[in-house]
Amino acid sequence: MKQLIINADDFGYSAAINAGIIHSHRQGVLTSATLMANMPGTLDAIALSKQYPSLGIGCHLVLTMGRPLDGTNTSFQDEKGEFYKLCDYPTMRSHYSDEEIYHEWCTQIEYLLDKGVKLTHFDSHHHIHFYPENRAITTKISKKYGLPARNSYGTENFGPIESPDVNDLLLDMMNTSAIRDMSLSYQALREQCLQELQDTFEKANNVQTLEMMVHPAFVDEYLLTHSSFNIARMREVEILTDPIVRQLIASLKYELVNYQTAKITQTV
């Protein structure tokens, strides 16, 4: 049977995102989430992760949002002491110290480990760990902690690389027109949304272990004021908790797994 990981990014971003993720796991098909170590909702997410051990938890490494956990790593900080934003990354990356990136990412992982989080894997905000210039750092971290890194092949125009990955392909489960259309309710658009989901799954017909990336959330003031991607996240909660979506997954012969329960089946 094919394997399906449904992973929610941004666990820890805010309390409302945390609540949406937990609801999508308890009442729906969400199997995994990756936790940000430097955000306002981090401690809340850590506590929730311990209450729901069936939810696989990875580290969502950060290099483009908020503040570094170790302020001595200055090569990627702006004048406010915050990470340079993603829009600045292409021009500023050449000034970053690879050693400082490595140290900061290790600090983020160790922060979660020290808080008792049992990590299953790691990925990153904006897929930064999979950018070609950061892959050597990613490999070094993976070996140090014995944690698999998300294979982001399938998104952001990334090509395949040779490594023993848990997931063979990464797709955005929700980035289609009807799903993103918030002018009508989910119930009004349900048929179109389900068809779009099926179309997305068809892109992975020949894949043994598929990861679907999602961003479910309820909305609080922090999310509303800090991200342009806010209200649309509530649609993802509706879809992930719709019983017919579970039926669709079963009809496509997928077993729902996370990074801990999945089996590595091939090398990309």
In this prediction the pTM is 0.96
b/e burial code for range 105-123 (CB count within 10 A of at least 16 → b): bbbbbebbeeeebebbbbb
- Rounded alpha-carbon distances, angstroms, from residue 179 to 48, 233, 247: 28, 10, 18
State the CB neighbour count (10 A cutoff) for residue 217.
Answer: 30
Pairing of strands 254-257, 56-61: unpaired
Amino acid identity at 6 = I
Q: Pairing mode, if any, of strands 2-11 and 32-35? A: parallel
What pLDDT score was predicted for residue 6? 98
pLDDT digits (tens, 9 = 90+) for 133-142: 999 999 999 9
Reply yes or no on whether the pLDDT at 11 is more than 70. yes
Residue with tokens 């043994």: 208
pLDDT reading at 164 higher than 60: yes
Question: Tell me, what's the pLDDT at 99?
Answer: 98
> What three-state secondary structure class fits 43?
helix
Domains and CATH numbers, the chain: 2-256 (3.20.20.370)
- Whether the pLDDT of residue 265 is over 70: the answer is no
Mean local confidence (pLDDT), 98-123 = 98
State residue 175's pLDDT score.
97
Question: What tens digit of pLDDT does each residue of 226-262 get?
Answer: 999 999 999 999 999 999 999 999 999 999 999 999 9
What is 247-266 written as a DSSP string?
Answer: HHHHHTTEEEE-TTT-----
Q: What are phi and psi of 192, to 5 degrees?
A: -65, -40
pLDDT, residue 268, reads 30
pLDDT number for residue 157: 86
| 23/153 Cα distance (integer angstroms) | 28
* 23-34 pLDDT per residue, tens: 999 999 999 999
Which CA distances in Å does 127 have to 134, 139, 192? 10, 14, 29
Mean pLDDT of the chain: 96
Q: What is the pLDDT of residues 67-110, one digit of tens each?
A: 999 999 999 999 999 999 999 999 999 999 999 999 999 999 99
